[in-house]
Each structure stands twice: as C-alpha cells, then as structure tokens.
Structure 1
C-alpha cells in the first residue's frame, strides 16, 4: 500500500504531497503515531478490563483491533482502496469496543490522524466528526460524567488533531518542494555536465579543424610553392635553349629550392617557425626570399622605417603572406616587375607586394580546387588570425597590390 503519511501506511502514490520514505522526519512521525495508537490501546484495554463485568471478550476485541492495525503495517505498499477499507474496518472495530468500554474512547485521537492523512480531506473531516460524536455519546453514557467536559474534551482533541494535521501537511509540502528542487538541481547538473562534454568535444573538433587548416596553409605556402618553383626551373632546363652554364645555374636553384622545401616540411611536421626565420629577423628572411625569385619577373625588396625584431607569430604570418603573394605573381601575373615593401612604425607592421602584371577582378569569387585557388584565402586567414587587416587592390590590366597590416603588441616590436 503506497505510503501517504508517516502515520499511515497506505497510498503513497495518490497523495498530493509525497514524502520520501527515508526522510528522518517522516520516519519519526510515523513511529510516533504507531506508538500513540499502541499506547492508547493498551491503556484503554487495561482500564476497560478492570471495570468490565466480562473482561475476556473486551480483551480479545482489543487484541483483534491491534492485530488489524499491524496487518495494515504488513500490507504497506498496496492500493489506496485497500487502505480505505482497512481504515473503515479499524474504525468500526473501535466503535464496537467503545460501546463495550468508554475507556477506549481516547484511541480516537490516533484514529483522527489516520483519517486526516489517509482519506481525502472531506472524508477525513467527516470521519473526525463521526469519531468525536462516538466519543461524546460514550461519555454521556458513563455515570457521573459532567456534560460540558464530555463535549468539550473530545471536541478539543479533534481540533488539536486537525491543527496538527494541517501543520504536518505544510511540513510535508515543504519537504516535497525541497525534494523536487534537489531533483531539479541534480538534473540541471547532469545537463550542465552533458553540455560541458558536448562543448569540450566541439572545441576539440574546432581545434582539429583549425590545425588542419593551418597545416594546409603551411603546405600551400611552402611545399606547394617550392614544388611550383622546381617545376618552372625544370621546364626552363628542358626547353633546349639553355647552355651548360645556364643548366648548372638551374640545377643549383632546384637544389636550393628542394633543400628549403625539405626544411619547410620539417617545420610543418614539428610545428616550428619557418627555417628562413631561424637565427634571422624578418627583413633578412624576406631579402633571401626575394633573391631566390626566378623567371621573367624582376623582384625588389624595400624597407620603410626601422623594422626591429617582431613577435614570432607576426614574422611567420608576414613571411608566409609574402611567399604566397610572390607565388601568385610568378604563376598568374605575367608581370615584368614586382616590389615587396615592409613598413613598420610603433603601432603596426605592413607588408605590400605590388606587381605590374595582368591584374584581375578581386570581387570575382575564386573557388579552390586541386589546381589551386587557396593562396588568397590563406593569406587573408593568416592576417586575420594575427589580428590584422588584409586587402587586395587590382583590376584587369592594371597589376595587383597585396596589402597586409598587423598591429604590434603594446610597446611596439620586441
């Protein structure tokens, strides 16, 4: 019989305010009600047996009533209808015992609590009123009993029982609110943990994607550009128009480009800074980059302002942007001349790569593919990741200028 009250062992699931079975307050009040019923029944049995002409039937009736009460404890966890039937038999049995001996009248106090907590509220109050009427009637039947106490006593007992029942309902409601709040907190904590796990997974995935993008840009700006240079040099050597000295120069440049590509590959694998920046500032690395440019385009390198040692991330970004821009000049611009300009002041460092080639429409979408198209996107991404601004100024037949500006940390170059 589902439990609905500490004093009642029936209907736990149908009551408005369920109290957890293992609540210390609930357990204490339950056993207090059991003890109260047992105490009143034992005292009433003893006093009734002392005054009764035939005590044996009275004692047997009291024992049966107590056994029926214990049966309700054993049957705890069953349906509400069984609980109501159990109380009805208990109440009728008590009325019969009161008819035999008024000493059992005060068992009504324990029955009041049972009625108020086991039965629906209207029926519980009706049972209390009926029990009060039984007690008052029994008191009037007792010889020498004053009229006022006979009425006032049972009524006061009923009022106290109703008041205590109301207080208990309030306590039970607060206990249920706390239980629900704890359950909500546990559920919220579980949701928070699940959200945190999902967020951590998303962050890890984003980190993996960022790393893949970074590696792809590094490969494009280093290995792919180096391979392109080797292809162009090889084609020049295979054209049949080069003499031995020219072939030797081409092979030397191929060897240099391949060696640099090997260093770049190691850099990508070990996530190190570019080999051009090892033990050399950005100005020297850009100078060497310009010197190695081959083909029909004449490339110059110009510095404007004192370019001190820059943060490593800034140097790496600018070197990669210069590599990508010069690769585009070599492969697509058909330019006669290109100028790489590095400008620095106390606030930012600027890189411009300008050529007099064919130019193009920068507003025309460029779709990356296996044949290329990653260079501009990679240069823009590098600049923006460094907190800078990237721009391309170009038009068909008017050449192209690639501009990257990266702010310096507070205090300027390190």
Structure 2
C-alpha cells in the first residue's frame, strides 16, 4: 500500500467518524463549562435536546452517505441542518464551536460548487462568534470585535482555498509528469532491449567473421605466439650459455623446453582456431594469474595480478582476446620496456570487463610507434584490432621515462552454457 492510499483511508475514516468525535468533545467541554459561560436552566435543557438531535443526524448521515461521496440534495440538506444545529449550540455555549468547525472540512464533499463559498462563510460566522465571546454580541465594541474576527477568518479561508488550488494544480502537473515518465521509461526499456539484442547479434557476427578476416587474425595470432615463445626460449638459452653452474643451466634448459612445448601447443590451437592453452579447464582469472606468474619467473621482474569485482565465466572469445592482449603487453614490457615491476588488474564492472597492464619501464611516445615493428610484429595495432573485434576498445598511456599503461575495455559476455 502506497502513501496516497494510506492518506485517502485516513481521510475516509475522519469523514465518517470526525463529526461524531468532535460533537462528543464539544459536549463534554460545554458540560464542564456550563456554569462558567452561563448555560444554565432552560439553556442547558435546550442544548441537551439539540445534542441528541445532532447525534441522530450524524447517525442518519453515516448510513445515507454510503450511497456515494458526490454532492447531492441530501448532502446539501445535511450540511444546512448540521450548520443550524452547530450555530444554535454555539449560541448557547461557545465551546460547541468544536462541532461547528467541522463545516470547513465537508464543503467539497457535501455542497455543489455554487454553494461552497456560502457554506464556508456560514461556518466562519459560527466560529467567529465563538472566538468573539459568544453570540449575539452585546454592544458596539463586541460587534466590532466580531466583525474583525469574522474578517480574519474569511481572509484565512480565502488564503487556504488559494493554496489548496495551487496544490491541486501542482498535483495534476505531477501526475501528468509521472505518467509521461512512465511512458518514457517504457520506451527506454524497449530501446535497451533492442540494443541488447543488436549487441548480441554483433558479437555473434564478429565471432563468425569471413574467411579472409579469419586468416589474417590467425596469421597474427601464430606470429605473435611463436615470437613470444621463441623470445623466451632464447632468453633462457642465453642464461645457459653464460653460466658455469650446471644446476642453474639445467633449470633454464627445462624452462626453455617448457616454453617450446607451450608454443607448439599454442601454434596448433591457433591454426585450428581454438582457445589458448592457458584457458583449458580454467577461467580467465586463473589463466591470467598463471601467465603473469610464469612471465615473472622468466624475466625476474616482479609481476602482480589482481581481480576486482565479482568474477564471471566469460565467453571463450572474450577470454581468449583478453589473454592474448595480456601476453602481448607482457612481451612488450620484457623486450622493449626493461620493466622491473608489472601489475595486471582484471576488473568486472557491471556489463563491462576492464583489463589494465602497467609497468615501470622506459616508456615511449605512442604516436611515434609505427603500425608494425621492424621485426614484423603486430604490436599495439594488433592489440587494438583484437579488442575491436569483440566490440571493445584499447587505450595506451605512456611517455618516455614514466612507464606504460595499457587498458582494454570489452563487453561482459558470459559463457554459453
């Protein structure tokens, strides 16, 4: 139940029981003050009879009003009779104004539009007479006081009526605005649903690209994978060639063999358009964690990996793309940056996945880097192409002497189950 319904229920309860409650309060107060205000003898009996008549009138109207709250002849007659009883009771004892004031609250419900001002004025006369010390005024001063009090009451009624009109107008505008917002939200939701369907379709189309584009992608994948693996093997063999320690040499030979096997598996899988070896049986966070750790062991640099947000099981194409971007960025950090520390962060952010790779290396001017390096690699453009292939973006921030930051932002597409 909302606030509006609660307020309407409370007003309905007041309209049903308010007159009886106020009549009861007025009767009790008037009885207690009868001797003080001079309601004695015949006036007391007359007031008692009128109170009984008022209770009978309220009982009759409680039953008759169930037919409907709209103004009618019966409701107008009830309003006039109640005002007459309240006016007479207030004449006998000013404290019966507690009952007379109920006329302010029932004008809209009981009287037609043309009689409402008259009804309010009649109620104001009764209340003003009570506030002036009783009816009728006894001298010119009392009449002047009664007139002044009545004028104040009428001005307050006019002010409250004006404010109520403004509030009604504001409520109508607010209701229209809420309705318009509802229609706008419905249209926006429909547009979002259509965009989501279109987005999914674009991803499917990107995953199932033409043969020519697929061959170029596989060529870049094989080239970069083998280049990274061979670079690692050469680095391990350089250590072997330069150390007289057989144990150290054996350790680096084992690493070189491992890299060779890994590179061979990557090459075969790339040819068959399969996911990277590191993703076999693992989610992207585990694959990145192992890739970063192995890179740190090979290079001797400190390598940290962090996951933020709630990890999701990503679509194979998305996971493979982010892993390849990480491998390329780490390879660049080892070959060109001379980094001593690298941090990789994978962030799950609502409907996006963000991959950040930062190093403390030499840095460079991104605008001065050609599309392809002298060695024939695909470099930054290759990473951008990978991100764009799945409707993502890749940005690079670097300057000489201040390290490099690579950030890939792609849609979060969950694994097909």
TM-score of the aligned structures, taking structure 1 as reference length = 0.48
Kindly name which structure, 1 or 2, has the bigger radius of gyration based on alpha carbons. 1
**Length-normalised TM-score, structure 2:** 0.47
